[in-house]
Structure formats: structure tokens, C-alpha cells
Amino acid sequence: MTIKHESQKIAQNFYTFAVILFLVQIVVGIIAALQFIWPDFFILNFNTIKTLHINALIVWLLTGLMGATYYVIPEESETELWSVPLARLQFWATVVAITAVVLGYIWAGLNPQANKLVFGTLMLNEGRKYIEAPRWADNLIVISVLLFLFNCFMTVLKTKKWTGIQGVLLGGLTFLALMYIPGMFYTKSMVKDQFWWWWVVHLWVEGAWEIIAGALLAFMLMKVIGAKREVLEKWMYIEVGLVMFTGILGTGHHYYWIGTPAYWLWIGGIFSSLEPIPLLVMVWDAFRTTREARAVTNKAGLYYTVAHAIFNFVGAGLWGVIHTLPQVNRWTHGTQITTAHGHLAFYGAYVLLVMSMIYVTLPAIRGVKEFDPSRAFQAFWWMTISMIFIVLTTTGAGMVQTYMERLMGLDYVTVKASYNLWFWIVRAIFGVGFLIGVLIFVVDYFKLGKEPVRVIKAAPERA
């Protein structure tokens, strides 16, 4: 496994930053889990910890996807990246901007009065979930993403080899960049605020990101198994097509109860119920292709790729569809069932996606012929089993909450502090289990290709 173009190595900068932020995300996640049991547990309040938890997630996934794209584009275009210095500049600009934003969150968390209103925007934290980053940071992020896209498109234009994979990948990334804009202006109405906010959040994770996932799935199956591009690209178009046909109007399942007209109950209910279909096609696609596999050298890469397809369907698809109908959602909306869905969806659809891209491309970047996948497997099972229990405990908590608070009329605080306490304790324990998996992965990431391959000696013959 070696790279064909020297400039593909830039991917590693992004991967490293992503892996470090992943670790940060899980550590603050455990603090947040403990705050469900002891709200005063840490110097920073839950809102700041949670902001760090989900922002670290989004940023590490995005930088991971950027790195992956910088790897894919030269490979598909069969040429060097248009400008490596520009990619490097864009990388460091991103690191500096993100660090400044994080320090701002912590500052605002320690002293909310420092979060001042200047020219109509809050300077440290905009107080809008996922897109808390202040306006000045939004602008920096937009510049960074535009530089990134410019660099990629210029590379493609060098050889004009518009392969299906890179076309869909760059299309998804452009859609992603465009859908950041609806979250960048202030509205006096909280209803309009949430209306536009869902354009960003939903059309990212159930639109643009799934398109990127479809393209990268095809790329990985091609690289790891050597499957035929023709067939892979055709199914990729069908998958991402179905993602868009169901997902765009599926946005309606967020417009049931926020003050928007009632016709969204129908539109959202029908289209979002169909959203698992493309994800199921991806699973079938991965299985069909894998069956053809003869000699696979990158076992870890294959393992993560298939796992990504499966858990994308289970987390984003199944755990979403169980509460997407308005008749059900009326009772479950805003409960821990949403938390459970959020965790399994992000893990299956995007955490495993970026990790599989790392395992598929990193050996080539480091020039490794063969590597021992045992740590990759260990990390996978620690993380996956822990995540399943995190999801089951929060689903259980959500069912108890739906029944006791929504149906019986018990107080939110009573249900959370008494009846669901056991779930919080078990969830925190499995949070530590997940951290163990991440630590194994981090060690594997930094050591991969840098230690001699263990030669398995034949067992000595018995006398």
C-alpha cells in the first residue's frame, strides 16, 4: 500500500487533528454523563461541557472528511493536489480558529457576562445548539471551507477526470458549505430561528453528509476489495439519489411542533419514514461487494467499512424511524429517545466513516505493506459494545420519561433525578468503556506503520 501522489500526505495533518479532538470529545462526554448524576460535578456547567462535546464531534468529523477528500481527489484525478501550501495554510487556519472558538466557549462558561453583544451578535457563544460558534468564527469557517473547495476543484480541473466518486464527493461538500449559510443570520422570531436552524442541522446530517458517506463508501469498497468502479458508481448514484429524494422533504419531521403549519405533519411523516431505505441499500451494497472479496490485505479497513454501513442503517435509519411518525413523536419529542438516536446515528454514520477512511488510507500514506489489525479490532469492539449500551440506557430512560412525564404527568425533574438515575449510572460506566476503545484507537493511529510487524512464527513441533 503506497500513495500515488506525494500531496495526498496532507490528509494526515487533518486526521491527526481529528483524532485528538475525538479524544477530547469523549473525555468531556464522560463529564457530561456524570453531570446527569451530579449536576455540580465540574467547574464548567453542563451547557458548556455539552457545547464542547458536540462541537468537538462536528469539527473532528469535518476535518476528518476534509483530510479524506484531500486523499481521494488526487487519486481520482490522477494528479498532484493543486496547491499543497494552500492546503497547509487552510489546515493551520482551521486549527487556530477552532482553538479560539473553544477558548471562547470556556470563557463564556466561566463568566457568562463576558459573552457580550457587539453589533447585534454575541461575541463568544451564540447560544444555538451545534452552531454556537460566534459570527466572526462563522466567517473564518466559511473562508476555510471555500479555500478547501477551491483547492479541490482546481485539482480536478487540472486533468478534468470527472469520476463519479469525486463528482458526488465534491457535490456533497459544496451542498454542505451552502447549507451552513442559513444558520448565519439572526431572526427575532424563535420559530424562524428554529426553522432555519434545521436547514443547517438536518440538511447536513441527513443530506450533504450522507452524500459524502455514499461517495466515500464506494471509494473504500473499490480500494479495499478492488471492486469494479462501474458497478460501485451506479449503486452510489442510486443511494445518494434516494438520500436526497427522502431526506430533503424529510426535514419536515422537525417542523411538527415548532410553530410551523400542520401540513408538515404529513410531508415530514411520509418522507422521513422512507429515509432508512437508502441506508439499507448501502448495507446491501457493502455485503454484495464484500462477497466478491478474494485476498484482502487491509482487514481493518474492510471491517470498519462494513461496520459503518451497518451502523449507519441501525443508528441513523432504525433509531430515527421509530419516533419519526407524528403520532409517536407527539409523545416522544424532546425526550431522551432523541439523545439515543443522536448518539447511535453519529457513531454509525460518521464516526465509523471517518475511522474507516483513516484505516483505508493511512497505511498507504505511511507506506505500510501490511499491518497488524488486532488493535483496530479491539478498539472497534470496546467502542461498539459500549455505544450499544449507551444507546440502550438512554432509550430506556427515554421510554420511562415518555411514559411518566408525558403520559402520567410527573414532573420532568422527578423523572430525571429519581426514576432514571440508574440509567445515568450505567450510561456513565459504558462511557468509560467507550473511552478505553478510543484510547486503543489513538495509540493505534500514532503507532500504525511505525513498529515492526510481528512475525507469527510457526509453533514448534512437538517431540
Partner 1 sequence: MSNKGARNLFIVGSLFFFAIFLALSFDTIGKLDKRAPEITEDVNAGKMVWHKYDCIGCHTIFGTGSYFAPDMTKVSERRPKEYLKQFMMDPKSVKPNAAMPKLGISSEEADHLIAFFDWISKVDTNGWPPKPILATAAGVNSRELSAGQKVYQSLGCSNCHTISGIGGTAGPELTHVGNKRDRAWLIGHFKNPDDYVPHSAMPKVKAPDADIEQLAEYMLTLK
Alpha helix positions (H), 226-318: 229-250, 263-273, 276-291, 299-311
Of 159, 266, 414, 453, which one interacts with partner 1 (CB under 8 A)? 414
Of 85, 119, 160, 189, which one interacts with partner 1 (CB under 8 A)? 189
The C-alpha atoms of residue 121 and residue 353 are separated, in whole angstroms, by 35
Nearer to partner 1 by Cβ, of 324 and 336: the residue is 336
Contact between residue 170 and residue 149 where contact means Cβ atoms under 8 Å apart: yes
Q: Does residue 240 touch partner 1 according to CB under 8 A?
A: yes
Of the candidate spans 36-44, 57-65, 71-79, 426-434, the one that interacts with partner 1 by CB under 8 A turns out to be 36-44
With cell 477552532, the residue in question is 98
Nearer to partner 1 by Cβ, of 250 and 276: the residue is 250
Of 251, 324, 356, 361, which one interacts with partner 1 (CB under 8 A)? 251
Minimum CB–partner distance for residue 278 and partner 1 (Å) = 11
Structure-block grid coordinates of residue 44: 464548567
Which amino acid appears at position 316 of this protein? A
The C-alpha atoms of residue 209 and residue 223 are separated, in whole angstroms, by 21
Minimum CB–partner distance for residue 92 and partner 1 (Å) = 29
Of the candidate spans 138-146, 238-246, 434-442, 455-463, the one that interacts with partner 1 by CB under 8 A turns out to be 238-246
Of the candidate spans 250-258, 313-321, 384-392, 427-435, the one that interacts with partner 1 by CB under 8 A turns out to be 250-258
Strands 117-118 and 121-122: antiparallel
Minimum CB–partner distance for residue 190 and partner 1 (Å) = 6
Minimum CB–partner distance for residue 232 and partner 1 (Å) = 10
Site string for partner 1, 255-274 (x = CB under 8 A): xxxxxxxxxxx-x-------
Residue 287: C-alpha distances to residues 63, 276, 277 (Å): 28, 17, 15
The C-alpha atoms of residue 286 and residue 305 are separated, in whole angstroms, by 8
Q: Does residue 135 touch partner 1 according to CB under 8 A?
A: no
Nearer to partner 1 by Cβ, of 229 and 366: the residue is 229
The C-alpha atoms of residue 348 and residue 276 are separated, in whole angstroms, by 13
Nearer to partner 1 by Cβ, of 243 and 358: the residue is 243
Nearer to partner 1 by Cβ, of 262 and 455: the residue is 262
The C-alpha atoms of residue 129 and residue 126 are separated, in whole angstroms, by 9
How far is C-alpha 235 from the chain's CA centre? 22
Q: Does residue 249 touch partner 1 according to CB under 8 A?
A: yes
Of 42, 107, 153, 245, which one interacts with partner 1 (CB under 8 A)? 245
Q: Does residue 302 touch partner 1 according to CB under 8 A?
A: no
Of 248, 280, 388, 399, which one interacts with partner 1 (CB under 8 A)? 248
Minimum CB–partner distance for residue 191 and partner 1 (Å) = 5
CA quadruple 13, 19, 22, 26: dihedral positive or negative? negative
Nearer to partner 1 by Cβ, of 16 and 45: the residue is 45
Site for partner 1 in 16-35 (CB under 8 A): 35
Contact between residue 347 and residue 315 where contact means Cβ atoms under 8 Å apart: yes
Site for partner 1 in 191-210 (CB under 8 A): 191-195
Nearer to partner 1 by Cβ, of 47 and 144: the residue is 47
Contact between residue 329 and residue 311 where contact means Cβ atoms under 8 Å apart: no
Which amino acid appears at position 58 of this protein? I
At 121, which helix (H) or strand (E)? strand 121-122
Of the candidate spans 84-92, 114-122, 217-225, 453-461, the one that interacts with partner 1 by CB under 8 A turns out to be 114-122
Which amino acid appears at position 408 of this protein? M
Instruction: Classify residue 399 as exposed, middle or buried by CB count within 10 Å of its CB (0-12, 13-18, 19+).
Output: middle
With cell 445518494, the residue in question is 240
93-121 exposure pattern, b = at least 16 Cβ within 10 A, e = fewer: ebbebbeebbebbbbbbeeeeebeeeeee
Q: Does residue 37 touch partner 1 according to CB under 8 A?
A: no
Contact between residue 144 and residue 90 where contact means Cβ atoms under 8 Å apart: yes
Minimum CB–partner distance for residue 311 and partner 1 (Å) = 22
Of the candidate spans 94-102, 111-119, 138-146, 446-454, the one that interacts with partner 1 by CB under 8 A turns out to be 111-119
Q: Does residue 336 touch partner 1 according to CB under 8 A?
A: yes
Q: Does residue 334 touch partner 1 according to CB under 8 A?
A: yes
Torsion angles phi and psi, residue 232, rounded to 5 = -60, -45
The C-alpha atoms of residue 34 and residue 30 are separated, in whole angstroms, by 6
Q: In the beta sheet, which residues pair with residue 117? A: 122
Which amino acid appears at position 192 of this protein? K
Site for partner 1 in 341-400 (CB under 8 A): none
Q: Does residue 406 touch partner 1 according to CB under 8 A?
A: yes
Kindly determine how many residues on this chain lie close enough to bind partner 1 according to the rule CB under 8 A: 77
Of the candidate spans 15-23, 237-245, 354-362, 442-450, the one that interacts with partner 1 by CB under 8 A turns out to be 237-245
Minimum CB–partner distance for residue 367 and partner 1 (Å) = 33
